[in-house]
Structure 1
């Protein structure tokens, strides 16, 4: 039985981090599948451009997800549209590059707000309504880095490990309610996210084998297909599934020095 809620007149899919990369492509794919989408991110101009390019009606709600007040305002903003959130996609994320001893505490706390607090906050605000209606789905975006420590991006790896654990636990809690949850853990994706973390795309691509890299549209399709099929943890691409297994089960005492030596954050 398909797990992704069917299209309804008042239901919508809310996608955070929809202004670029995986979030943009998930929004496009949801619209292609007939869903009305609510686009959330800081960059209103990009959200409006995306909304105009979609075949389905799309709504733009600019928000800074590192700001608790912006997050708290979202349910009322959705209600003002006479909509309910049937699909919640927590995709927004940031990363910091460099050793813990050198990354600023302000940057680290901002990462925790977006990558961890926003996920918990929005799930806590929207999942109760899904349960009350007996239908809904949550897709949280983590990373292959969720399966083990990430030297030189310690806070990012830890945040994604939190998202993985949180989603798996929530999924079990939701059993029998008509609501499901899944987490997608992509490997490296050509999204420009590396630039945001201080890693130029060309340098990031030298860091990892070419066969591990995925395109954001392929990740979006795999994520939504996996959610619809009821998969709890989705790792797009066979090479990345193998890497995730290695990351999860290989002794970290052997693996971490190899990862650390090749990471550009070592030079920060």
Structure 2
């Protein structure tokens, strides 16, 4: 049986990855900050699917938290075959409304943690000639929308670059770029969602199913829904200045109130 390590595993997209991978017979290493939620989740997945679910409590906004996950990923006696870098969050407010400390924490979780954990996981995968890394980004990576969008754009660019460097090694990397997904994400950030049209919402389980198909096909960037594929196609064709203006207005209309 192979082992997958998932950060931000207790809710949203991370929890959906855990459910799907457990159902497919993968052992799991579940990473999040809440030990009790992790233990409950691990027990449920073990009892339902007969897999082993290891709990690793870590706060990826801290050096100690990142280092603890790095150590687990570097353990050659208990190899991790799939890393899902899913941990992330949003900040409510425009630039200068958000404290510098919160902005830097976002970069720590979205960029530094992804860099360090990918770097810890890949050498063993390369030696074994197989493995995968899914870095959860966002369609926000493709439009100018502040620190959140910039950090997700970094994830996409980083993933594409590493995927090229590792071509032919048996290690696959993919940046997953969803749109609005029904999770705890907006609630935790204190963002209202009543003004977001129903058609823009994605189901986390369906999203993960599509993402794993894209990973198996060798896609490096996955936008796993026809609606958002169409939107991103339009974004690529539109002038950059026009896109910036539209996304700024749209963010105020459909984003946090």
Same-fold status (TM-score > 0.5): yes
Task: Mark the runs of 5 or more structure 1 residues left unpaired by the alignment.
Answer: 1-7
Q: What is the aligned partner in structure 2 of residue 3 from structure 1?
A: none
Q: What is the aligned partner in structure 1 of residue 68 from structure 2?
A: 73
Question: Is residue 96 of structure 1 aligned with residue 91 of structure 2?
Answer: yes
Q: How does 1:134-213 map to 2 (within 5 A)?
A: 134-150=129-145, 154-202=146-194, 206-207=195-196, 209-213=197-201
Distance 1:133 1:160 in 2: 29
Does structure 2 retain, via aligned residues, the 8 Å contact 1:192–1:201?
no
TM-score of the superposition, structure 2-length normalised? 0.92
Q: What is the aligned partner in structure 2 of residue 44 from structure 1?
A: 35
Could you list the runs of 4 or more consecutive aligned residues of structure 1 that deviate by over 6 angstroms after TM superposition? 265-268
* Stretch moving more, 73-82 or 96-105: 73-82
Structure 1, residues 218-243: CA drift from partner, whole Å, max 9, x if none?
11111111111211111121011111
Does structure 2 retain, via aligned residues, the 8 Å contact 1:135–1:179?
yes
Does structure 2 retain, via aligned residues, the 8 Å contact 1:199–1:264?
no
Does structure 2 retain, via aligned residues, the 8 Å contact 1:187–1:236?
no
SS of 1:263's equivalent?
helix
Distance 1:184 1:40 in 2: 19
SS of 1:200's equivalent?
coil
Aligned-pair distance for 1:81? Answer: 10
Question: Is residue 25 of structure 1 aligned with residue 16 of structure 2?
Answer: yes
Does structure 1 retain, via aligned residues, the 8 Å contact 2:143–2:247?
no
Distance 1:80 1:258 in 2: 47
Instruction: Give the total of aligned pairs.
Output: 252
Structure 1, residues 235-264: CA drift from partner, whole Å, max 9, x if none?
121011111122233113222222222334
Q: How does 1:204-243 map to 2 (within 5 A)?
A: 206-207=195-196, 209-243=197-231
TM-score of the superposition, structure 1-length normalised? 0.88
Structure showing greater relative contact order (alpha-carbon pairs closer than 8 Å, 6 or more residues apart): 1
Distance 1:248 1:185 in 2: 15
Query: What's the Cα RMSD here?
Result: 1.9
* Stretch moving more, 20-29 or 124-133: 124-133
Q: What is the aligned partner in structure 2 of residue 133 from structure 1?
A: 128
Does structure 2 retain, via aligned residues, the 8 Å contact 1:15–1:89?
yes
Q: 1:121 aligns with which of 105, 116, 120?
A: 116
Distance 1:18 1:246 in 2: 33
Does structure 2 retain, via aligned residues, the 8 Å contact 1:148–1:248?
no
Aligned-pair distance for 1:82? Answer: 4.4
Does structure 1 retain, via aligned residues, the 8 Å contact 2:74–2:124?
no
Aligned-pair distance for 1:80? Answer: 7.1
